[in-house]
Each structure stands twice: as structure tokens, then as C-alpha cells.
Amino acid sequence: MAAPQEPGGGAAFARRIDPAREPGLSPEQRRLMAQVESAQRYRALQRRLRSRNTLLGLGIGALTIGIYGYTFYSVSQERFLDELEQEAEAARARAQARAEAAAS
């Protein structure tokens, strides 16, 4: 018995069939084909979800790092401004003391 031929000439490797229209399939074969197709769809869905979950995780991680970075930067700026304000107060006090010394 010869292998089924494709219109292009070579032997068919895997021919797609519709299980509902194929007359020679037993109910067990139809059930098995439906089970295999379901498993393939499930695996494809898992791959898609895994890649989406990976992207979501990277996005959440980047957002978290950004928030922490901004917070640390803001706190260091506040500390810098506090130190600057203390130095300004000390300079004002020295200037006022010099002015009082010069006035007396």
C-alpha cells in the first residue's frame, strides 16, 4: 500500500483530518484525538501565561525598585536640606553676634 500523496508530489508527512468527518475512526480514536488536542491547547496557554507572568513580574519589580530608589533619594535630599538649614542658622547667629560685637 502506497503512502498518501500530496498534490505537490511528495509523500504526506502529517495530514490534518477532521475527526467528526473521518469515517474510519473509532469512538476511542476520536476521544484520544480530542484529548491530545486539548493537551496541546493547554500547553500553548501555559507558555503564553508564563511569558505574560514573567513580563508582569519584571514590571512590578522595576516599579518597586523605582519607588524605593525615589524614596531613598528624597530622604537623602531632606537630610541635605536639614543640614543646609542648620548651617544657615549657625551662619546667621555668627553674623548677628559679629554685628552686635561691632555695634558695641
For residues 68 and 59, what is the distance between their CA atoms, to the nearest angstrom?
A: 14
Res 100: pLDDT: 86
Res 1: pLDDT: 45
- Dihedral (CA of 35, 40, 46, 52) sign: negative
Residue-wise pLDDT for 3-62, tens only, equals 455 555 556 577 777 777 778 888 888 888 889 999 999 999 999 999 999 999 999 999
Task: Classify the phi-psi angles of 9: left when phi > 0, otherwise alpha if psi is within -120 to 50, otherwise beta.
Answer: left
pTM of the model: 0.44
Question: Quick check: 78 pLDDT over 80?
Answer: no
- Tally of residues, the chain: 104
Query: Binning pLDDT at 50, 70 and 90, where does residue 101 land?
Result: confident
Contact 30, 19 (CB under 8 A): yes
